[in-house]
Amino acid sequence: MNTTYHIKNITLRASLFFLSLVLINTPLAADPVLGQDFVNVTKPLESEIRALLEKAEVETQNSQYETALHSLNDAYNLADTLSNSILDRSILNSFANIYYQTNQLEQAGRYYQQLVSLDTNNYDYESLSVSLFNLAHVKAFQNNYIQAGELLSQSLILSESLNDDLGVAFGLKALGVNAQAMGDYYNASQYLIDALHQFESLGEINQIIATHRNIGDLKLEEIKIDSAIAHYRQAIDMATEATPNNIIVPLYRGLSSAFEKAENYQLALVTHKAYSGLMNLEREQQAHKATQHLQVEFETQQFADENTRLSQQTQNQQLELESTTNVVKIQYMVLLLTVGLLFFVILFWSRSRKQEKALIELATTDELTGIFNRRAIMQHAEKEWHRSCRTKNPFTCLMLDIDHFKRINDLEGHSAGDKVLKKLADAINDNLRQTDAFGRIGGEEFLLVSCESKLNQTKVLAERLRKLVENFEYGFANIKKVTISIGLAEFNNEKSVNELIQHADQALYKAKNSGRNQVVCY
């Protein structure tokens, strides 16, 4: 499906629109409770987020996609503390564009879908039209042409209601190419001709040429050779030196194929030679551009090395001058006093940090097992629940309970029960991802919070943990093995994290009543 050119154009329009929104210094309304203090806190954060977005934009232009994603992740984490829909939208749009450019369509589609939801909630119909358009092209590249057509139709209706003539033209063109991909040549022809007329009324020369080429490609598929040749030739006649190669090259390729199907091999050969010449020229231009880029990098590195050498030379001269300077007794005394004062400041700071760390650990760590205590794991679960509500990412809670724990205490003693709790907590904690959180909420009950994992994935994890505990050797005289029961619940529109945990507890209760030593989903 030949949609690359107008996808990039509409993506560029979207990027420029959202970047202009980000760079606007949006005034903050005075809050009756937080007042000026709130403004003083949020403005520096917004500036930092904008700087990260600009950095990611530059890195994307230089094809440094991994670095750009790191910058966007930093911006996302900062924006998480604010409530600024403009910044949120800019970050989501940047994520979507990077994943689209790197052909990671699943991720791109997910972010474009979030943009559609955000624009809908904000009644931002101009942005919604663009988001629908971009999401449609992701669906088209995934060969989901029916859904792509529905999204493009919605985008077209919005563009018409907003009197966005250029948006209407791009929408008609995209609908035409999508219909062509589905084999609906009649509607494809109608859409493309309407798009051509729209571009002609707007004076968009490059788009007129590109649309003639699209119509030529369509007629070539329909074996309407004369009509295809006419459209290709009309497009070539309109082209100028300023017309981009990515528009001209497909024209000659299509015209060559049309002449070949018409059995006019002489013109087919001439046109193909022109096509090959343009391709070679484009390769030479790309090679020249790459050479220039490397030359600039080389000269920049040379300049940096020279600056480093001069800086080192200056430092050496300063050190030589200082070594020949006579230092008087008072300067030594001041220096000693300064060092002594600095030593005590550092000592005091170090002790304060240690005390602070110890207090934090005391407040958040279970004394027996060394994992999160009830307060800490519940706070973590609350935070991740709010994040999941906002991002719509999967989020699962697991309730774990040691089977017949009272029997262990009765037969082997409380020290044995403590040993079981400690060993179980260490083993499970060592088998979790860094994004998972595990805590003891009381007695022999534990809570595991799993982020970015769907129910089936978490169930696999739970089953692995259950088998891990079952295979432990404790060396007890009366208890041969210790087992656990696990209840799972995935976030699904629960009103609070407590409700989600209650669902997991209900699943755990079912596991207990069904014979223990098993995993049950809510």
Q: Report the CATH number at residue 502.
A: 3.30.70.270
Name the more confident of 114 and 308: 114
Has residue 118 been placed in a domain?
no
Are residues 356 and 456 both part of a single domain?
A: no
Has residue 213 been placed in a domain?
no
Are residues 380 and 415 both part of a single domain?
A: yes
Alpha helices of 471-496 — where are they, by DSSP H? none
Query: Pick from 339, 364, 389: which residue ends a domain?
Result: 364
**517: alpha, beta or left, given left = phi > 0 and alpha = psi -120 to 50?**
left
Name the more confident of 291 and 505: 505
Average pLDDT over residues 382-397: 92
Has residue 234 been placed in a domain?
no
The answer, yes or no, to whether residue 182 has pLDDT greater than 50, is: yes
Are residues 333 and 384 both part of a single domain?
A: no
Are residues 390 and 477 both part of a single domain?
A: yes
Has residue 160 been placed in a domain?
no
Give the span between the Cα atoms of 140 and 235, in whole angstroms. Answer: 26
b/e for 45-69, b at 16 or more Cβ within 10 A? ebeebbebbebbbebbeeeebeebb
What angle do helix axes 374-391 and 497-513 make, rounded to 10 degrees?
110
Count CB-CB contacts under 10 A for residue 137. 28
pLDDT grade, residue 5 (50/70/90)? Answer: very low
* β-sheet bridge partners, residue 484: 402
- Among the residue ranges 109-113, 146-150, 261-265, 340-344, the one predicted with the least confidence is 340-344
Give the span between the Cα atoms of 427 and 405, in whole angstroms. Answer: 18
Lookup result for tokens 């030739």: 233
Has residue 512 been placed in a domain?
yes
Are residues 474 and 353 both part of a single domain?
A: no
Give counts: helices (H), strands (E), the chain: 19, 5
Question: What is the domain count for the chain?
Answer: 2
pLDDT of residue 209: 93
pLDDT of residue 403: 94
Has residue 66 been placed in a domain?
no
Average pLDDT over residues 507-521: 96
- Comparing C-alpha atoms, which of 461, 487, 522, 459 is closest to residue 400? 487
Are residues 417 and 516 both part of a single domain?
A: yes
Are residues 502 and 414 both part of a single domain?
A: yes
Are residues 380 and 456 both part of a single domain?
A: yes
Query: Pick from 315, 345, 364: which residue ends a domain?
Result: 364
The answer, yes or no, to whether residue 414 has pLDDT greater than 60, is: yes
Are residues 423 and 347 both part of a single domain?
A: no
Are residues 387 and 513 both part of a single domain?
A: yes
Query: Pick from 364, 388, 416: which residue ends a domain?
Result: 364
Are residues 340 and 464 both part of a single domain?
A: no
Are residues 446 and 499 both part of a single domain?
A: yes
278 phi and psi, to 5 degrees? -65, -40
pLDDT of residue 269: 85
Has residue 484 been placed in a domain?
yes
Structure tokens belonging to residue 13: 């329009």
Domain containing 418 equals 374-521
pLDDT of residue 42: 67
pTM of the model: 0.49
Has residue 140 been placed in a domain?
no
